[in-house]
Structure 1
Amino acid sequence: MQMELTPNTTPSGFLLPSIHAAPPFFTEQPTPSTQSLFADHWIRLILSYARHRRLFILRIEDAEGPGSDWDEILRNERINRRVLPSYLSSLIAVLVSKELAVYEPAKQTRSVLLLWRQPEEWAEALHVWATASGQLNTILTFYEITDPPIPSPLSGLPIPLLRKAINVLTRSGRAQIIGVADGEGVRLFSGTK
Protein backbone atom coordinates (compact mmCIF):
# COMPACT_ATOMS: atom_id res chain seq x y z
CA MET A 1 0.00 0.00 0.00
CA GLN A 2 1.45 3.36 -1.03
CA MET A 3 0.99 6.30 1.29
CA GLU A 4 -0.53 9.42 -0.16
CA LEU A 5 1.60 12.55 0.13
CA THR A 6 -0.51 14.73 2.37
CA PRO A 7 0.24 17.32 5.01
CA ASN A 8 0.17 16.03 8.58
CA THR A 9 -0.21 17.83 11.89
CA THR A 10 2.24 16.88 14.66
CA PRO A 11 1.27 16.49 18.33
CA SER A 12 2.64 20.01 18.99
CA GLY A 13 0.23 21.39 16.39
CA PHE A 14 2.80 21.99 13.64
CA LEU A 15 1.60 21.34 10.10
CA LEU A 16 4.17 19.25 8.24
CA PRO A 17 4.33 19.83 4.48
CA SER A 18 3.31 16.96 2.21
CA ILE A 19 6.95 16.44 1.10
CA HIS A 20 7.59 15.17 4.65
CA ALA A 21 5.71 12.00 3.67
CA ALA A 22 8.06 11.29 0.74
CA PRO A 23 10.72 8.70 1.70
CA PRO A 24 13.46 10.27 -0.50
CA PHE A 25 13.11 13.53 1.43
CA PHE A 26 14.91 11.90 4.37
CA THR A 27 18.08 11.00 2.47
CA GLU A 28 20.75 13.00 0.72
CA GLN A 29 20.11 12.89 -3.02
CA PRO A 30 22.84 12.11 -5.58
CA THR A 31 21.51 14.65 -8.11
CA PRO A 32 22.67 18.15 -7.10
CA SER A 33 19.51 19.90 -8.36
CA THR A 34 17.25 17.51 -6.44
CA GLN A 35 19.41 17.79 -3.32
CA SER A 36 19.36 21.58 -3.55
CA LEU A 37 15.56 21.56 -3.81
CA PHE A 38 15.25 19.18 -0.84
CA ALA A 39 17.73 21.26 1.20
CA ASP A 40 15.62 24.38 0.56
CA HIS A 41 12.52 22.50 1.77
CA TRP A 42 14.41 21.25 4.85
CA ILE A 43 15.65 24.75 5.69
CA ARG A 44 12.13 26.20 5.54
CA LEU A 45 10.85 23.26 7.59
CA ILE A 46 13.59 23.53 10.24
CA LEU A 47 13.21 27.29 10.64
CA SER A 48 9.41 27.32 10.72
CA TYR A 49 9.37 24.41 13.20
CA ALA A 50 11.97 26.17 15.37
CA ARG A 51 9.81 29.32 15.39
CA HIS A 52 6.69 27.24 16.17
CA ARG A 53 8.36 25.52 19.14
CA ARG A 54 10.71 28.43 20.06
CA LEU A 55 13.74 26.20 19.57
CA PHE A 56 17.07 27.92 19.14
CA ILE A 57 19.65 25.11 19.06
CA LEU A 58 19.93 22.26 16.57
CA ARG A 59 22.56 19.57 17.17
CA ILE A 60 23.73 16.57 15.16
CA GLU A 61 22.78 14.51 18.24
CA ASP A 62 19.12 15.43 17.59
CA ALA A 63 19.20 12.96 14.68
CA GLU A 64 21.12 10.23 16.51
CA GLY A 65 18.26 8.78 18.52
CA PRO A 66 14.68 9.34 19.58
CA GLY A 67 13.70 11.73 22.33
CA SER A 68 14.90 15.09 21.01
CA ASP A 69 12.82 18.24 20.62
CA TRP A 70 13.22 17.75 16.88
CA ASP A 71 11.73 14.23 16.56
CA GLU A 72 8.49 15.53 15.01
CA ILE A 73 10.33 16.69 11.91
CA LEU A 74 13.52 14.61 11.82
CA ARG A 75 11.48 11.39 11.94
CA ASN A 76 8.41 10.14 10.17
CA GLU A 77 7.23 6.94 11.81
CA ARG A 78 4.34 6.64 9.35
CA ILE A 79 6.82 5.87 6.57
CA ASN A 80 9.58 4.50 8.81
CA ARG A 81 12.09 7.21 7.89
CA ARG A 82 14.46 9.47 9.77
CA VAL A 83 17.19 11.95 8.95
CA LEU A 84 20.62 10.44 9.53
CA PRO A 85 23.21 12.48 11.46
CA SER A 86 25.43 12.80 8.34
CA TYR A 87 22.53 14.30 6.37
CA LEU A 88 21.62 16.66 9.22
CA SER A 89 25.26 17.75 9.28
CA SER A 90 25.10 18.74 5.61
CA LEU A 91 21.78 20.56 6.17
CA ILE A 92 23.34 22.45 9.09
CA ALA A 93 26.23 23.47 6.82
CA VAL A 94 23.72 24.85 4.29
CA LEU A 95 21.91 26.79 7.05
CA VAL A 96 25.23 28.35 8.10
CA SER A 97 26.26 29.13 4.51
CA LYS A 98 22.94 30.95 3.99
CA GLU A 99 23.46 32.87 7.28
CA LEU A 100 20.34 31.32 8.79
CA ALA A 101 22.37 29.72 11.59
CA VAL A 102 25.74 30.14 13.28
CA TYR A 103 27.87 27.48 14.85
CA GLU A 104 27.41 27.69 18.63
CA PRO A 105 29.74 27.38 20.31
CA ALA A 106 32.08 28.65 17.59
CA LYS A 107 34.90 26.48 16.23
CA GLN A 108 32.84 23.29 16.01
CA THR A 109 30.28 22.01 13.47
CA ARG A 110 27.93 19.81 15.52
CA SER A 111 25.65 22.48 17.00
CA VAL A 112 24.08 25.66 15.63
CA LEU A 113 22.13 28.61 16.89
CA LEU A 114 19.19 28.99 14.51
CA LEU A 115 18.32 32.43 13.21
CA TRP A 116 14.61 31.98 12.57
CA ARG A 117 14.56 35.68 13.33
CA GLN A 118 17.58 37.69 12.25
CA PRO A 119 19.50 39.67 14.91
CA GLU A 120 17.98 42.88 13.49
CA GLU A 121 14.47 41.50 14.16
CA TRP A 122 15.45 40.50 17.72
CA ALA A 123 16.93 43.98 18.19
CA GLU A 124 13.59 45.54 17.25
CA ALA A 125 11.73 43.11 19.53
CA LEU A 126 14.09 44.03 22.39
CA HIS A 127 13.65 47.75 21.81
CA VAL A 128 9.84 47.47 21.55
CA TRP A 129 9.75 45.37 24.74
CA ALA A 130 11.95 47.84 26.67
CA THR A 131 9.85 50.77 25.46
CA ALA A 132 6.50 49.08 26.24
CA SER A 133 7.65 47.95 29.68
CA GLY A 134 9.00 51.40 30.57
CA GLN A 135 12.60 50.23 30.85
CA LEU A 136 14.36 52.64 28.52
CA ASN A 137 17.39 54.31 30.19
CA THR A 138 17.38 51.56 32.84
CA ILE A 139 20.29 49.15 33.23
CA LEU A 140 19.01 45.64 32.57
CA THR A 141 20.97 42.45 33.08
CA PHE A 142 20.88 39.89 30.31
CA TYR A 143 19.04 37.59 32.74
CA GLU A 144 16.30 40.20 33.29
CA ILE A 145 15.78 40.38 29.54
CA THR A 146 15.77 36.63 28.81
CA ASP A 147 13.93 35.57 31.97
CA PRO A 148 11.51 38.40 32.82
CA PRO A 149 8.83 37.96 35.51
CA ILE A 150 6.17 38.33 32.82
CA PRO A 151 6.93 36.24 29.72
CA SER A 152 7.90 38.29 26.69
CA PRO A 153 8.96 37.61 23.10
CA LEU A 154 12.53 37.57 24.48
CA SER A 155 11.92 34.88 27.11
CA GLY A 156 14.43 32.06 26.71
CA LEU A 157 16.47 33.91 24.09
CA PRO A 158 20.01 32.47 24.11
CA ILE A 159 22.62 34.97 25.34
CA PRO A 160 24.71 34.77 22.10
CA LEU A 161 21.63 35.83 20.12
CA LEU A 162 20.79 38.54 22.65
CA ARG A 163 24.35 39.89 22.26
CA LYS A 164 23.91 40.03 18.47
CA ALA A 165 20.64 41.97 18.91
CA ILE A 166 22.25 44.37 21.39
CA ASN A 167 25.15 44.92 18.97
CA VAL A 168 22.64 45.95 16.30
CA LEU A 169 21.10 48.47 18.73
CA THR A 170 24.54 49.69 19.84
CA ARG A 171 25.54 50.44 16.25
CA SER A 172 22.40 52.56 15.83
CA GLY A 173 22.96 54.42 19.12
CA ARG A 174 20.00 52.80 20.87
CA ALA A 175 21.92 50.64 23.38
CA GLN A 176 25.03 50.62 25.49
CA ILE A 177 26.66 47.57 27.10
CA ILE A 178 27.34 48.16 30.80
CA GLY A 179 29.40 46.09 33.21
CA VAL A 180 27.30 45.08 36.23
CA ALA A 181 28.12 43.21 39.45
CA ASP A 182 27.07 39.80 38.11
CA GLY A 183 28.24 40.14 34.51
CA GLU A 184 26.93 42.32 31.74
CA GLY A 185 23.96 44.53 31.33
CA VAL A 186 22.57 46.90 28.76
CA ARG A 187 20.98 50.31 28.80
CA LEU A 188 18.51 50.98 25.99
CA PHE A 189 17.80 54.46 24.68
CA SER A 190 14.84 55.77 22.72
CA GLY A 191 17.04 56.89 19.80
CA THR A 192 16.11 56.48 16.19
CA LYS A 193 16.95 53.75 13.77
Structure 2
Amino acid sequence: MHASTFTTTSGFLLPSVHSLPPFFTLQAACPPALAKFTDDWIKTILAYARHRQLFFLKVEDAETTGNEWDEVLKNERINRKLPPPFLEHIISTMVTRNLAVYEPAKQTRTVLLHWRLPQEWADTLHQWATDTGHLNTILTFYEITDPPVDSPLTGIPVPLLRHAIQELAKTNLAQIISIADGEGVRFFAPSGR
Protein backbone atom coordinates (compact mmCIF):
# COMPACT_ATOMS: atom_id res chain seq x y z
CA MET A 1 0.00 0.00 0.00
CA HIS A 2 1.59 3.28 -1.13
CA ALA A 3 0.68 6.52 0.62
CA SER A 4 1.04 9.75 -1.28
CA THR A 5 -0.06 13.35 -0.97
CA PHE A 6 -2.64 14.73 -3.38
CA THR A 7 -3.63 18.25 -4.37
CA THR A 8 -7.40 18.79 -4.60
CA THR A 9 -9.24 20.86 -7.19
CA SER A 10 -9.33 23.77 -4.71
CA GLY A 11 -5.55 23.61 -4.29
CA PHE A 12 -5.50 21.93 -0.87
CA LEU A 13 -2.69 19.43 -0.29
CA LEU A 14 -4.12 16.31 1.31
CA PRO A 15 -1.68 14.44 3.59
CA SER A 16 -0.38 11.05 2.51
CA VAL A 17 -2.46 9.28 5.19
CA HIS A 18 -5.56 10.35 3.21
CA SER A 19 -4.61 7.81 0.52
CA LEU A 20 -4.71 4.85 2.96
CA PRO A 21 -8.03 2.92 3.12
CA PRO A 22 -7.79 2.31 6.92
CA PHE A 23 -7.81 6.10 7.44
CA PHE A 24 -11.48 6.02 6.45
CA THR A 25 -12.40 3.27 8.95
CA LEU A 26 -13.49 3.77 12.55
CA GLN A 27 -10.79 1.70 14.27
CA ALA A 28 -12.78 1.06 17.47
CA ALA A 29 -11.03 -2.25 18.16
CA CYS A 30 -7.59 -0.64 18.04
CA PRO A 31 -7.47 2.43 20.34
CA PRO A 32 -3.93 3.55 19.29
CA ALA A 33 -4.93 3.54 15.59
CA LEU A 34 -8.20 5.32 16.40
CA ALA A 35 -6.35 8.01 18.36
CA LYS A 36 -3.76 8.51 15.59
CA PHE A 37 -6.34 8.67 12.78
CA THR A 38 -8.58 10.96 14.84
CA ASP A 39 -5.66 13.36 15.36
CA ASP A 40 -4.82 13.22 11.64
CA TRP A 41 -8.45 13.85 10.67
CA ILE A 42 -8.67 16.83 13.03
CA LYS A 43 -5.52 18.40 11.56
CA THR A 44 -6.76 17.77 8.02
CA ILE A 45 -10.27 19.12 8.68
CA LEU A 46 -9.03 22.29 10.38
CA ALA A 47 -6.40 22.95 7.71
CA TYR A 48 -8.97 22.42 4.94
CA ALA A 49 -11.53 24.64 6.69
CA ARG A 50 -8.92 27.39 6.95
CA HIS A 51 -7.93 26.90 3.29
CA ARG A 52 -11.55 27.17 2.10
CA GLN A 53 -12.71 29.51 4.91
CA LEU A 54 -15.37 27.05 6.01
CA PHE A 55 -16.84 27.57 9.44
CA PHE A 56 -19.31 24.72 9.88
CA LEU A 57 -19.02 20.95 9.65
CA LYS A 58 -22.04 18.66 9.85
CA VAL A 59 -22.30 14.90 10.17
CA GLU A 60 -24.56 15.14 7.09
CA ASP A 61 -21.51 16.30 5.09
CA ALA A 62 -20.26 12.70 5.29
CA GLU A 63 -23.69 11.33 4.33
CA THR A 64 -24.29 13.42 1.20
CA THR A 65 -22.34 14.21 -1.95
CA GLY A 66 -21.79 17.44 -3.81
CA ASN A 67 -20.98 19.56 -0.75
CA GLU A 68 -17.99 21.73 0.09
CA TRP A 69 -16.39 18.96 2.18
CA ASP A 70 -16.30 16.28 -0.55
CA GLU A 71 -12.60 16.85 -1.31
CA VAL A 72 -11.64 15.84 2.23
CA LEU A 73 -14.34 13.48 3.48
CA LYS A 74 -14.16 11.32 0.35
CA ASN A 75 -11.33 9.81 -1.68
CA GLU A 76 -12.59 8.55 -5.02
CA ARG A 77 -9.08 7.41 -6.01
CA ILE A 78 -9.32 4.61 -3.41
CA ASN A 79 -13.14 4.43 -3.36
CA ARG A 80 -13.46 5.47 0.29
CA LYS A 81 -15.51 7.97 2.27
CA LEU A 82 -15.57 8.86 5.94
CA PRO A 83 -18.46 7.03 7.66
CA PRO A 84 -20.84 9.29 9.63
CA PRO A 85 -20.18 7.49 12.97
CA PHE A 86 -16.45 8.19 12.57
CA LEU A 87 -17.16 11.85 11.78
CA GLU A 88 -19.37 12.02 14.90
CA HIS A 89 -16.41 10.71 16.93
CA ILE A 90 -14.05 13.26 15.33
CA ILE A 91 -16.49 16.11 15.97
CA SER A 92 -16.94 15.05 19.61
CA THR A 93 -13.16 14.96 20.07
CA MET A 94 -12.80 18.42 18.51
CA VAL A 95 -15.39 19.83 20.92
CA THR A 96 -13.63 18.18 23.88
CA ARG A 97 -10.36 19.83 22.79
CA ASN A 98 -12.01 23.25 22.26
CA LEU A 99 -11.27 23.11 18.53
CA ALA A 100 -15.00 23.35 17.77
CA VAL A 101 -18.29 24.08 19.52
CA TYR A 102 -21.71 22.64 18.86
CA GLU A 103 -23.70 25.26 16.96
CA PRO A 104 -26.49 25.57 17.65
CA ALA A 105 -26.01 24.32 21.19
CA LYS A 106 -27.94 21.32 22.54
CA GLN A 107 -27.30 19.13 19.48
CA THR A 108 -24.28 17.05 18.43
CA ARG A 109 -24.38 16.94 14.63
CA THR A 110 -23.12 20.42 13.62
CA VAL A 111 -20.08 22.30 14.87
CA LEU A 112 -18.58 25.72 14.44
CA LEU A 113 -14.91 25.07 13.75
CA HIS A 114 -12.10 26.92 15.49
CA TRP A 115 -9.48 26.90 12.76
CA ARG A 116 -8.54 30.14 14.44
CA LEU A 117 -9.08 30.22 18.17
CA PRO A 118 -11.41 32.94 19.50
CA GLN A 119 -8.40 34.94 20.81
CA GLU A 120 -6.82 34.80 17.34
CA TRP A 121 -10.10 36.04 15.84
CA ALA A 122 -10.11 38.81 18.47
CA ASP A 123 -6.61 39.87 17.43
CA THR A 124 -7.57 39.76 13.74
CA LEU A 125 -10.75 41.74 14.45
CA HIS A 126 -8.97 44.47 16.41
CA GLN A 127 -6.22 44.73 13.80
CA TRP A 128 -8.86 45.10 11.07
CA ALA A 129 -10.69 47.81 13.05
CA THR A 130 -7.40 49.65 13.57
CA ASP A 131 -6.25 49.31 9.95
CA THR A 132 -9.59 50.48 8.54
CA GLY A 133 -9.90 53.47 10.87
CA HIS A 134 -12.84 52.13 12.87
CA LEU A 135 -11.53 52.80 16.37
CA ASN A 136 -14.04 54.73 18.51
CA THR A 137 -16.84 54.28 15.99
CA ILE A 138 -19.83 51.98 16.26
CA LEU A 139 -20.13 49.21 13.68
CA THR A 140 -22.96 46.74 13.21
CA PHE A 141 -22.11 43.06 13.12
CA TYR A 142 -23.25 43.09 9.48
CA GLU A 143 -20.68 45.77 8.60
CA ILE A 144 -17.97 43.48 9.98
CA THR A 145 -19.15 40.18 8.49
CA ASP A 146 -20.11 41.64 5.09
CA PRO A 147 -17.77 44.59 4.46
CA PRO A 148 -17.68 46.41 1.09
CA VAL A 149 -14.10 45.14 0.61
CA ASP A 150 -13.35 41.52 1.53
CA SER A 151 -11.41 41.13 4.75
CA PRO A 152 -10.23 38.24 6.92
CA LEU A 153 -13.58 38.64 8.73
CA THR A 154 -15.83 38.33 5.68
CA GLY A 155 -18.44 35.69 6.37
CA ILE A 156 -17.43 35.06 10.00
CA PRO A 157 -20.46 33.59 11.81
CA VAL A 158 -22.04 35.92 14.36
CA PRO A 159 -21.51 33.52 17.32
CA LEU A 160 -17.78 33.47 16.59
CA LEU A 161 -17.70 37.24 16.05
CA ARG A 162 -19.50 37.77 19.37
CA HIS A 163 -16.99 35.50 21.11
CA ALA A 164 -14.06 37.45 19.59
CA ILE A 165 -15.62 40.73 20.74
CA GLN A 166 -16.05 39.31 24.24
CA GLU A 167 -12.34 38.42 24.23
CA LEU A 168 -11.52 42.04 23.30
CA ALA A 169 -13.93 43.37 25.94
CA LYS A 170 -11.93 41.56 28.64
CA THR A 171 -9.01 43.89 27.90
CA ASN A 172 -11.13 47.01 27.23
CA LEU A 173 -10.45 46.91 23.48
CA ALA A 174 -14.12 46.57 22.48
CA GLN A 175 -17.62 47.00 23.80
CA ILE A 176 -20.85 45.42 22.54
CA ILE A 177 -23.56 48.05 22.17
CA SER A 178 -27.30 47.62 21.63
CA ILE A 179 -28.42 49.54 18.57
CA ALA A 180 -31.70 49.85 16.66
CA ASP A 181 -30.74 47.11 14.18
CA GLY A 182 -29.61 44.65 16.86
CA GLU A 183 -26.06 44.67 18.16
CA GLY A 184 -23.03 46.73 17.37
CA VAL A 185 -19.51 47.10 18.63
CA ARG A 186 -17.17 49.94 19.42
CA PHE A 187 -13.42 49.31 19.26
CA PHE A 188 -10.88 51.12 21.40
CA ALA A 189 -7.16 51.69 21.07
CA PRO A 190 -4.99 49.89 23.60
CA SER A 191 -4.41 51.98 26.71
CA GLY A 192 -1.04 53.69 26.87
CA ARG A 193 -1.13 54.93 23.27
- Shorter-chain TM range is over 0.9
* Cα distance change of structure 1 residues 72 and 192 upon mapping to structure 2, 3 Å threshold: farther
| Distance apart, 1:5 and its partner CA | 1.1
> Which residue is 1:81 aligned to?
80
2:148 aligned residue: 149
Q: After TM superposition, what 4+ stretches of structure 1 lie above 4 angstroms from structure 2?
A: none
**Does the aligned pair in 2 maintain the 1:75–1:83 contact within 8 Å?**
yes
- Separation (CA, whole Å) in 2 of partners of 1:11 and 1:192: 46
SS at match of 2:111: strand
Report if aligned partners of 1:172, 1:192 keep a CA contact under 8 Å in 2. no
> What TM-score, normalized to structure 1?
0.97
Where structure 2 has 5 or more consecutive residues not aligned to the other structure, the ranges are none
User: Which residue of structure 1 lines up, in the alignment, with residue 7 of structure 2?
Assistant: 9
Q: Partner letter of residue 53 of structure 1?
A: R
| TM-score with structure 2 setting the length | 0.97
- Quick one: structure 1 residues 192 and 67, their matched pair in 2 at CA, closer, same or farther if it must change by over 3 Å? farther
TM-superposed deviation, 1:192: 4.5
Which 5+ residue runs of structure 1 have no aligned equivalent?
none
Tell me how far 1:107 sits from its aligned partner: 0.5
For the 8 Å contact 1:60–1:111, the answer to whether it is kept is yes
Q: Number of aligned pairs?
A: 191
AA at the equivalent of 2:19: A
The residue number in structure 2 matching 1:27 is 25
SS at match of 1:130: helix
Aligned-pair RMSD on alpha carbons?
1.0
What does 1:37-56 align with in structure 2 at a 5 Å threshold? Answer: 37-56=36-55
SS of structure 2 residue aligned to 1:102: strand
Percent identity reads 60
The aligned counterpart of 2:133 is 134
> In 2 relative to 1, CA 172–26 (structure 1 residues): closer, same or farther, beyond 3 Å?
same
Give the Cα–Cα distance (whole angstroms) in 2 for the partners of residues 177 and 99 of structure 1. 24
Displacement after TM superposition at 1:22 (Å)? 0.2
